[in-house]
């Protein structure tokens, strides 16, 4: 397999631009609806989520799934009409209720009311998540801060190991991956009501780490090829660097995404969408490293008059192992 990255760069950039535009539009629509680019989950918006599982000791109590309208009635009696209710699980025996932030008295009342009307529920399988508005803001701010700091750290490290232009283009590719992942979740939020929590920020950061890894491997090869072939045009250098690292890119993406697919299929509810975010991000990351970051580097060098490497920094050879003759 041989890819003509440079020749078809219009196509690659077109695909990326379209994905980014769709993502931005989805986030804009989402902003109109929820006041945030993505549908904010409990962690960021604050509130209380109760997840209750019906105790099925008496088997005949579990033949029918839970009835949402019954639950809604109980909630209405407590003055919690605007809460969202979901029935989960294979047998429709798990109830997930998201309300405004309840204090302990309100929550106890609600739980016993539900227990009486619909239950009994198994206390061993109960999950309570209650997040006050202060904590929500704190989680959001710390998450965004972590994202910015790692961007800055990566730029600093790459400028040190490569050059500033490599670093900035790598960050551009990263921004692409982050925007596309966020866009997919904006669409999922609009279409399926999927919310993002603090694990989503974690997945964005992991995507950043992974995708820059991908870009670095290709840039590393570009730098090496520039050293080995000082006279060739940057377009050819980039093309062969991408093709030389192509099977590595595919295999690494495959081995990383395999476990994630396993988590997406077998893992519990909590990790399902975390794995999905990573899968989307890693795919976007591989795409942008192979097709976008590399061709942008070529374009940049060409435009700035560095199409042929004459840069003494770039030509400093790394010492080869003693036994290895220079090829």
Partner 1 sequence: MAKYRAWLGVILALTIAAVVVITQLPTRLGLDLRGGSQLTIQVQPTEAIPTVTEREMEAVQTVVEGRVNGLGVSEAVVQQLGNNQLLVQLPGVSDPQQAERVLGGTAQLEFRAQRAGTDQQLQIENQILQGHLGELAALQAALPPNGAITSETQARIDRLQADIANSEAAIVALFEPSTLGGDALTDAIARPTSGTLWEVVIQFNNEGGNEFAEISRAIAGTGRTIGIFLDNRLLSAPTVNVQYAETGITGGSAVISGNFTAESARDLEIQLRGGALPLPVEVVENRTVGPTLGRDSIQRSLYAGLAGLVLVLVFMAVYYRLPGILADIALIVYALLTWAAFNLLGVTLTLPGIAGFILSIGMAVDANVLIFERTREELRSDKTLYRSVESGFFRAFSSILDGNVTTLISCLALFYFGAGLVKGFALTLGIGVLISMFTALTCTRTLMFLAISLPQFRRPSLFCPGLNPVRPNPVRP
Query: Under the criterion CB under 8 A, does residue 159 sit at the interface with partner 1?
Result: no
Q: Are 94 and 51 in contact (CB under 8 A)?
A: yes
Of the two residues 26 and 223, which places its CB atom closer to partner 1 in the complex? Answer: 223
Instruction: Give whichever of 20 and 263 is closer to partner 1, judged by the CB atom.
Output: 263
Instruction: Work out which of 32, 304, 316, 318 binds partner 1, going by CB under 8 A.
Output: 318
* Residue of 261, 310, 311, 315 interacting with partner 1 (CB under 8 A): 261
From residue 81, how far is each of 41, 99, 172, 203 by CA, in Å?
Answer: 19, 9, 45, 33
Residue 199 near partner 1 by CB under 8 A: yes
Q: What's the closest the beta carbon of residue 325 comes to partner 1, in angstroms?
A: 9
Minimum Å gap between C-beta 282 and partner 1 is 9
Q: Which residues contact 13 (CB under 8 A, 6 or more apart)?
A: 292, 295
Contact by Cβ (8 Å): 102, 110: yes
| Nearer Cβ to partner 1 (191/321) | 321
Choose between 73 and 112: whose C-beta lies nearer to partner 1.
112
Residues numbered 108-127 forming contacts with partner 1, rule: CB under 8 A: 108, 111, 122-127
161 binds partner 1 (CB under 8 A): yes
User: Among 21-29, 56-64, 146-154, 298-306, which window interacts with partner 1 (CB under 8 A)?
Assistant: 146-154
135 sits near partner 1 (criterion: CB under 8 A): yes
Distance of CA 246 to CAs 253, 279, 301, Å? Answer: 11, 19, 22
Which residues within the stretch 215-234 sit at the binding site for partner 1 (CB under 8 A)?
216-217, 220-221, 224
Nearest to 176 by CA among 153, 219, 207, 199: 207
Q: Residues 195, 165: contact at Cβ < 8 Å?
A: no
Nearest Cα neighbor of 94 from 72, 119, 113 is 119
């Amino acid at each position: 397999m041989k890819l003509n990255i440079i020749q078809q760069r219009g196509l690659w950039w077109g695909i990326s631009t379209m994905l980014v535009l769709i993502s931005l539009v989805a986030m804009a629509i989402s902003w109109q609806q929820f006041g945030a680019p993505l549908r904010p989950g409990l962690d960021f918006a604050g509130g209380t989520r109760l997840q209750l599982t019906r105790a099925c000791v008496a088997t005949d109590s579990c033949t029918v799934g839970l009835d949402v309208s019954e639950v809604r009635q109980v909630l209405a009696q407590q003055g919690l009409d605007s809460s969202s209710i979901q029935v989960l699980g294979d047998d429709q025996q798990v109830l997930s209720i998201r309300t405004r932030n309840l204090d302990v008295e309100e929550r106890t009342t609600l739980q016993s009311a539900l227990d009486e009307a619909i239950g009994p529920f198994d206390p061993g399988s109960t999950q309570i998540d209650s997040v006050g508005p202060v904590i929500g803001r704190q989680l959001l701010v710390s998450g965004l801060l972590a994202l910015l700091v790692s961007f800055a750290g990566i730029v600093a490290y790459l400028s040190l190991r490569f050059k500033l232009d490599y670093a900035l283009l790598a960050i551009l590719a990263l921004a692409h991956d982050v925007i596309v992942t966020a866009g997919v979740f904006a669409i999922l939020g609009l279409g399926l009501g999927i919310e993002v929590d603090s694990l989503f920020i974690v997945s964005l950061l992991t995507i950043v780490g992974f995708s820059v890894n991908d870009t670095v491997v290709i840039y590393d090869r570009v730098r090496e090829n520039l050293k080995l072939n000082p006279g060739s045009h940057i377009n050819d250098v980039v093309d062969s660097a991408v093709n030389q690292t192509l099977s590595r890119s595919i295999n690494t993406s495959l081995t990383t995404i395999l476990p994630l697919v396993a988590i997406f299929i077998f893992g519990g509810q909590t990790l399902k969408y975390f794995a999905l975010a990573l899968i989307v991000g890693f795919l976007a990351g591989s795409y942008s490293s192979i097709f976008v970051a590399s061709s942008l580097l070529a374009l940049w060098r060409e435009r700035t008059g560095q199409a042929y490497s004459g840069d003494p920094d770039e030509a400093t050879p790394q010492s080869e192992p003693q036994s290895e003759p220079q090829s």
